Amino acid sequence: MLSGKNILIGISGGIAAYKICELIRMFKRENANVRVICTPNALNFVTKLTLQNLSRNEVGIEEFEIPDFKPEHISYADEADIMIIAPATANTIGKIANGICDNLLTSVVSAFKKTVLIAPAMNCNMWQNEIIQENIQKLRKYGYEIIEPETGFLACGYQGVGRLCGLEKIFDRAVDILNAEKKLAGKKIVITAGGTIEDIDPVRYISNYSSGKMGIALADTAFNQGADVVLISTVDVERGYRVVKVKSALDMQKAVEAEFVNSDCVIMAAAVADYRPKNISARKMKKTSDDSISIELVKNPDILQKICAEKTVQTIVGFCAESENLIENAKEKIQKKGCDFLVANDISRKDIGFSSDYNEVTIFDKNGNMLKIDRSDKYKIAERIFEVIYGQRADNTNNRELCAAESR
């Protein structure tokens, strides 16, 4: 499965370091070439000799062991197809997030230009620390992929979120990335993400809880599959594809229309405000003695409906977030808007949707067929959405799945 692939595994100093021995074996069984870098503290939990025997390569530890006059942090970064850091301690995460390069592992990460998977593991209180979470969000913003820790009994005696995720999850995600076919090469795909912001005055605004994670997952997936991606986003994103930063619904409309004409596919994953204040105050509105105030709202343009009316050859995918009657509302919306596909998700659930890394969606096509995709991380959901849009499944079951799901 992984013949000819070069995998770089970074191990930092956490108790879960011993588990990575089995992860190395999993990759070796698939004929991958595995190299390992350890922080010095990682050797308190697993030996260098063990890692060398399993990987069949020298293990990097010291930053200035320079064979063949080639700086190690550059040679490791150049040779690998993917980098996995597991377990990633709070200390190592903080260093990477802030550009600190004080050991071989952190130096390699700073020079690595391909996908980096980070699998944190730590005490539950450390994981919930606001500084740690800020570092995690910072890494996500810059394109690092985080495989979140799981809930369970921790080595410190606590019960909570912090234990290293299952090795199969790390392995499967790495395989998906390494074997990603350029299925979307030659296609220009425009994706919107995040919740729009509608100003009331210089201080206040109307918005929603959208984090933009689903749209970003779609953009990352399309880019990995070879598409020319334009992400129109209300949240800050730095990626290898083009990102157009917008704020309001009118800003988003202008950006979408500028990219729409020569696009192959437009996916409207953003949560666009239905209304905006009619008048925006140039100064902060002061509190008065009145117990209530009124702000007159006017309807924002329906971007999805407008581009559906103007499309020629484009495939258009809409999103809808529902808190009740999901199927009925989604069927009504796809007919009203005229899009080719509609992705509906239930925002009343706390384990999916807004701000979560997970989602559960039902995809509708313009013929009224539907396909439910059970709860999964948003990157898996994104892959399935593209499979449905472009019929990418090797067994060509997508259309049959949609029809069969409707008949059930």
Closest CA to 36 of 50, 55, 18, 13: 55
Report the alpha-carbon distance of residue 344 to residue 322 in Å, rounded. 7
**Contact criterion met (CB below 8 Å) for 293 and 329:** no
Supply the pLDDT for residue 397: 46
Supply the pLDDT for residue 408: 40
Supply the pLDDT for residue 64: 64
Supply the pLDDT for residue 311: 94
Supply the pLDDT for residue 395: 41
Of the pLDDT bands very low, low, confident and very high (cuts 50, 70, 90), residue 76 is: confident
pLDDT winner (highest mean) among 137-151, 189-203, 347-361, 378-392:
189-203
Supply the pLDDT for residue 407: 38
Q: Is the pLDDT higher at 40 or at 77?
A: 40
Q: How many whole angstroms from its chain centre is CA 332?
A: 29
Q: Given a cut of 90, is residue 142 above it in pLDDT?
A: no
Query: What are the beta bridge partners of residue 277?
Result: 297
3-state secondary structure the chain: CCCCCEEEEEECCCHHHHHHHHHHHHHHHCCCEEEEEECHHHHHCCCHHHHHHHHCCCEECCCCCCHHHCCHHHHHHHHCCEEEEEEECHHHHHHHHCCCCCCHHHHHHHHCCCCEEEEECCCHHHHHCHHHHHHHHHHHHCCCEECCCEEEECCCCCEEEEECCCHHHHHHHHHHHHCCCCCCCCCEEEEEECECCEECCCCCEECCCCCCHHHHHHHHHHHHCCCEEEEEECCCCCCCCEEEECCCHHHHHHHHHHHHCCCCEEEECCECCCEEECCCCCCCCCCCCCCCCCCCEEECCCHHHHHHHHCCCCEEEEEEEECCCHHHHHHHHHHHHCCCEEEEEECCCCCCCCCCCEEEEEEEECCCCEEEEEEEEHHHHHHHHHHHHHCCCCCCCHHHHHHHHHHC
Q: Given CA atoms 276, 281, 283, 284 in this order, what sign does their dihedral have?
A: negative
Q: Given a cut of 70, is residue 393 above it in pLDDT?
A: no
Furthest CA-CA distance within the chain: 77
Q: Given a cut of 60, is residue 82 above it in pLDDT?
A: yes
Q: Given a cut of 80, is residue 1 above it in pLDDT?
A: no
The stretch 307-334 carries a mean pLDDT of 93
The 10s digit of each residue's pLDDT in 353-380 is: 677 888 999 999 998 899 999 988 898 8
Q: Given CA atoms 329, 332, 338, 343 in this order, what sign does their dihedral have?
A: positive
Mean residue pLDDT of the chain comes to 90
Task: Give the count of alpha carbons within 13 A of 356, CB side only.
Answer: 18
The 10s digit of each residue's pLDDT in 216-274 is: 999 999 998 999 999 999 999 888 899 999 999 999 999 999 999 999 999 999 999 99
The 10s digit of each residue's pLDDT in 91-141 is: 999 999 999 999 999 999 999 988 999 999 999 999 999 999 999 989 988
Residue 6 to residues 146, 241, 259, Cα–Cα distance (Å):
20, 24, 37
**Contact criterion met (CB below 8 Å) for 368 and 362:** no
Candidate from 2-6, 69-73, 81-85, 181-185 with smallest mean pLDDT? 69-73
Q: How many whole angstroms from its chain centre is CA 39?
A: 27
In this structure, what token pair is assigned to residue 210? 């959208």
φ, ψ dihedrals at 57, nearest 5°: -140, 155
Supply the pLDDT for residue 392: 57
Supply the pLDDT for residue 130: 95
Helix pair 303-310, 249-260: axis angle to 10 deg: 20
Supply the pLDDT for residue 72: 57
Residue 242 to residues 9, 57, 231, 251, 267, Cα–Cα distance (Å):
29, 38, 6, 17, 15
**Percentage of residues in the chain with pLDDT exceeding 90?**
72
In this structure, what token pair is assigned to residue 349? 């659930």
The residues assigned a catalytic role are 156
Q: Given a cut of 70, is residue 394 above it in pLDDT?
A: no
Of the pLDDT bands very low, low, confident and very high (cuts 50, 70, 90), residue 402 is: low
Q: Given a cut of 60, is residue 70 above it in pLDDT?
A: no
Encoded amino acid at 72, one letter:
E
Interacting residues of 41 by C-beta distance below 8 A, sequence separation 6+: 12, 13
Supply the pLDDT for residue 186: 94
Domains defined along the chain, listed by start = 6-178 (3.40.50.1950), 188-407 (3.40.50.10300)
Query: What are the beta bridge partners of residue 10?
Result: 37, 85
